[in-house]
Amino acid sequence: MRTIIIKYISWLWVGCFAVLTSCDRMNDLHDEYLQRGETTYLARLDQVNIHPGNKRAELVFVNKDPKARTMTVYWRSRTDSVVYTIPDNSVGQELEVQLPNLPEDFLTFELVTTTSDGKSKSLTTELSSRIYGDNYRASLNARLIDKAIYLESANELDITWKGVFEGAVNIEIEYDGTDGNTRMVELPIEERSILYLNMFDGNLKYRTGYLPTENAIDTFYTEYSDLPFSELYVVEGLTFNGINQYMTIADHPDFNISSGEVLSISLWIKTPVGNKTQRLLMKRYTSTTADPVNGNTGYGIAPLSNRRTYADWYYRSGSNPNPGGGANVLSGNDYYPLDTWFHLTAIFDSSTKQIKLYQNGNLVGTATLPAAVPENPNVVNISDVLVGTWKESSTGSLKEFFNGEIAYLRFWKKALSPEDILQDMANPVTAETPGLVAAYDLRKVLGSGTDLTIADIKGNHTAVLHGFSRP
């Protein structure tokens, strides 16, 4: 029994010693804590947004702690960072931090604010975002065009678009200006765009802008692509006053009808006059002595006083300077309308000795030279081409001025077929159009004052205006 009590008392003394020893160690730790001081944390950032961009980003945050003086942004496991100095008196304000030169990747950012002495910090705030760049841009597609129509007289481009790709936010149109500068128009995303191309001079291109996210700070654009368009064919021309206005095209073999050749002439006309003869076009001096070599050979087109259209030609017979004869063709009972555009085509064919006259694409008259006329007669002279008037000789007075509008005057060294005429009525021509020798868009007057011209689309035979003026 005594042995048991002694053992119990021994263990009791051991326990007391252990407790006393533990208390001493706790006091040592407490003393160390008191010496080191209490850890104070700054307010953690909880109002933070990130706006991604092109290899960069923008952080927007609200500082809630007046003791915070810097904010450090880390990324890529804290191997890269930016330190931002927080402005004084900015508590509660929205602040922006720019993060440049970021890799195109999905990044996690860690944000920590610090006091000026660096002794206190905030707990870390984490947020993630994708950063965009060249790879994203390369994945973008230009918006597709359903159709685009250009109205030249109004410098108006009408585009109908196909469906929109996700993220597309705008379209940029670029073109060359007549002043030599590159011009740009920005369009919103819409199903149809109608825009004015001021001083348009060609080279029309477009590109599509994308935002990868709604809050992105950069717009990414596709490469520029050609913008194909068709020209709306609107009949508009030049108004002649019927008093003293006309146009001349210098004499050239292109406008003669040599042996075996064909010359077709097409144009649009609108006139309010139906009670007198007017001359639309003539390449012929009517005086038999005006041209000592060719006499009064030539051709012409006119609306007559009975509202019929008329074409004639006079040919040279061998070496005789006076014509060997002529022929003319009337539009029969196909009267031309007043104050309404109508289309005329006259075909002078030396190989068949025939004239054909078409009105609005319909054959309204044919005339054939007599059988006695030699094959492949010449219709050659030294007269200029007169548009809107005529005269007997180079020094003669001008007569029968045209009152109305003329549009799209064209000369061809081929016999236009009925299908060709319908195409000609509805489409523009270019310098490469087969068989075309000269063409004039009478809307496009060049020059100033009274020195006015109209360019030949083929680039060979400039027309000169007379009696016209403009600033």
Q: What tens digit of pLDDT does each residue of 264-284 get?
A: 999 999 999 999 999 999 999
Mean pLDDT confidence for 299-314: 92
Q: Look at 324 and 113; give whichever has higher pLDDT.
A: 113
pLDDT confidence band for 375 (50 / 70 / 90)? confident
pLDDT value at 394 more than 80? yes
How confident is the model over 194-241, as pLDDT tens digits? 999 999 999 999 999 999 999 999 999 999 999 999 887 788 899 999
Residue 3 has a pLDDT of 47
pLDDT value at 26 more than 60? no
Mean pLDDT confidence for 430-458: 95
Residue 371 has a pLDDT of 73
- Other Cβ atoms less than 10 A from the Cβ of 230: the count is 11
Residue 226 has a pLDDT of 96
Residue 301 has a pLDDT of 96
pLDDT value at 31 more than 70? no
pLDDT value at 153 more than 80? no
pLDDT confidence band for 33 (50 / 70 / 90)? very low
Residue 39 has a pLDDT of 67
Residue 12 has a pLDDT of 47
- CATH class for domain 48-131? mainly beta
Residue 117 has a pLDDT of 92
Residue 172 has a pLDDT of 97
Mean pLDDT confidence for 359-374: 87
Share of the chain above pLDDT 70, in %: 89
pLDDT value at 72 more than 60? yes
**CA-to-CA distance for 160 and 253, rounded, in angstroms?**
46
Q: Candidates 3.40.50.620, 3.20.20.105, 2.60.40.10, 3.30.930.10; correct CATH number of 136-231? A: 2.60.40.10
Residue 332 in tokens:
């029969």
- CATH class for domain 238-466? mainly beta
Residue 317 has a pLDDT of 62
Mean pLDDT confidence for 392-406: 94
Residue 16 has a pLDDT of 46
Mean pLDDT confidence for 417-446: 94
Residue 355 has a pLDDT of 94
Q: Look at 318 and 359; give whichever has higher pLDDT.
A: 359
pLDDT value at 1 more than 70? no
Residue 269 in tokens:
């006309």
Domains 136-231 and 238-466 share a fold: no
Q: Look at 27 and 329; give whichever has higher pLDDT.
A: 329
Mean pLDDT confidence for 393-414: 95
Domain residue spans of the chain:
48-131, 136-231, 238-466
pLDDT confidence band for 323 (50 / 70 / 90)? low
Mean pLDDT confidence for 157-183: 95
pLDDT value at 345 more than 90? yes
pLDDT value at 7 more than 70? no
Residue 377 has a pLDDT of 80
Q: Look at 377 and 254; give whichever has higher pLDDT.
A: 254
Residue 2 has a pLDDT of 46
How confident is the model over 113-143, as pLDDT tens digits? 999 999 999 999 999 999 999 999 999 999 9
Residue 5 has a pLDDT of 46
Residue 321 has a pLDDT of 58
pLDDT confidence band for 154 (50 / 70 / 90)? confident
pLDDT confidence band for 14 (50 / 70 / 90)? very low
Closest CA to 431 of 462, 408, 460: 460
Mean pLDDT, the chain, integer: 89
